A = this chain, B = another copy of it.
Amino acid sequence: MSDPIVFVLDVAPADAAEPAAGWASTVHRVERGTPILEGTDLGATRGDGVFETLGVLSGLPQAISGHFWRLARSAELLELPAPNLEQWLVAMRMAAAALPSDRQGGVKLALSRGIEGSGQPSGWLVATEAEGDFPERTSGIRVATLDRGYSSDLSERAPWLLPGAKTLSYAVNMAALREARRRGAQNAIFVSSDGYVMEAPQSTVLLRRGNTLITPKIDIGILPGTTQMSAFAVAEEWGLETVDRLVPVSELHDSDGVWILSSVALATPITAVDELPIAVDHEFSGRLNAALISRRE
């Protein structure tokens, strides 16, 4: 895998007009190994910021509108200055164009509150070529369910806990992945304290039961899934029903297929939950991934 390629953005306010030299003049690719953030940046000292990762296929970034909508939403939930989406779009396209066009990859957009007291957000982008060819899209992975500690009425009860915001504060998500590996699994699925499926630390959960695709509803305090939205759009074209609702954890064991969905890895089928094998739908995995790969937004 080549090294990630980093770009720094001179973050403009949402209402700023495009400079005469164009938005591209506000984006700077940095040499490998160059530090870009100060030690007082709230992104680094408090995880106080938001991010998005877009998948890039054949040089084309995917699900742009979904990711940009969610970036703006996360920023609003954190009361950050609204991002200038036009500027970020130019920067994101520059970062995606830096990737080899024959490889899958991703572009991360990161927006922090910036240096404490400055009122000026920091923005940067990281373009990364994917490692390997995603054999898990066909082989599948095992997951461990992990209590997320929150009940399913969290969003309503405690919005200051930032449910639904994709923040730079991911230490718990990373710890959950380590715990899953300790349990012999490759990923985790978070479960609410009252027993409902939430999300994976970096992806959305999808279930198939007969002709219906199901995903946990986001008002239990989870992220809206951009790849899940694409999967639902595809499934509806195929005549399947789609629904978001409360999903009791027992349904993971009582479905015709379970997947985790994310922007770069796309649809990864689950073969076992807490060491118990579950039904695997290889045919649907193949069809769904082919459809996601052939998207042209």
A11 to B38, CA, bound (A): 17
A166 CB, nearest partner CB in chain B, Å: 10
Interface residues of A in 105-120 (CB under 8 A from B): 108, 110, 112, 116
Q: Contact check, A161 vs B174: say whether CB atoms are below 8 A apart.
A: no
Q: Contact check, A170 vs B172: say whether CB atoms are below 8 A apart.
A: no
- Asked whether A4 is an interface residue with its Cβ less than 8 Å from the other chain, the reply is yes
A168 to B95, CA, bound (A): 27
- Asked whether A124 is an interface residue with its Cβ less than 8 Å from the other chain, the reply is yes
Q: Pick from B34, B47, B160, B162: contact of A47, CB below 8 A.
A: B47
Chain A: number of interface residues, binned into ranges? 35 or more
| Stretch in A146-154, A207-215, A231-239, A287-295 with 4+ CB within 8 Å of B | A146-154
Q: Contact check, A162 vs B149: say whether CB atoms are below 8 A apart.
A: no
Most buried by B among A30, A149, A173, A176: A149
Task: Enumerate the 6 nearest inter-chain pairs by beta-carbon distance, A residue then B residue, closest first.
Answer: A47-B47, A169-B169, A169-B171, A6-B39, A160-B179, A47-B169
What residue in chain B is nearest A176 (Cβ atoms)?
Answer: B160
For A154, the chain B residues whose CB sits under 8 A away are 149
A138 to B112, CA, bound (A): 35
What residue in chain B is nearest A42 (Cβ atoms)?
Answer: B174
For A40, the chain B residues whose CB sits under 8 A away are 4, 6, 126
Q: Contact check, A38 vs B6: say whether CB atoms are below 8 A apart.
A: yes
A150 to B157, CA, bound (A): 12
A43 to B161, CA, bound (A): 20
For A147, the chain B residues whose CB sits under 8 A away are 157-158, 161
